[in-house]
Amino acid sequence: MRERMLAGDLYVADDPVLTQENRRAMALMEAFNHTPAAAPEERRRLLIELLGGFGEASEIRPPLYCDYGYQTRVGARTFANFGLVVLDVGPVTIGDDVQIGPNVQLLTATHPLSPRLRREKWESAQPINIGDNVWLGGGVIVCPGVTIGGNTVVGAGSVVTRDLPANVVAVGSPARVIRTLED
């Protein structure tokens, strides 16, 4: 099932290998989420162990929640505020210099529309890609399969259901482009 998950195919998460990997992530998250603010080196060490990549001078404030960790890559100088949720059954790539507000959700997991397949616990994932210098306001939800172009700003509480181009401001549910950014 792990190979199916990594390939983006339908899989069942109730698998011994996936369960073991999820427990590893849970243990590392628990340690990270209980690390004192006065121990930034320990927080960084735990994030490097948990995540698939964690860039130089990046910071994630606890609590952090993810499924596996190794599917998430964070670029350099990126900041994520409290309460980041990353359902990383599919790859999540966060660029350099990204600002992530509190309680943001990056959700790669998706489920079949077929009631029978859902009952049988099948699921899949679609990757999320967040470009360099993106700002996700507090409470933003990014849905499976979304790419957000560089320098884009997504307003607080927005739900991003489709790709957003670079250099725009998008707000709402679903998020819609309301203006172009020029530097």
The answer to whether residue 34 is catalytic is no
Q: Which of 7, 27, 111, 121 is catalytic?
A: 111
Q: How far is CA 157 from CA 120, 136, 144, 172, in A?
A: 33, 9, 17, 7
Q: Give the separation between CA 36 and CA 48, rounded to whole angstroms.
A: 17
- Report DSSP letters for 126-178, one per residue: --EEE-TT-EE-TT-EE-TT-EE-TT-EE-TT-EE-S-B-SSEEEETTTTEEE
Do residues 169 and 152 touch, judged by C-beta distance below 8 A? yes
Give the residue numbers marked as catalytic. 111
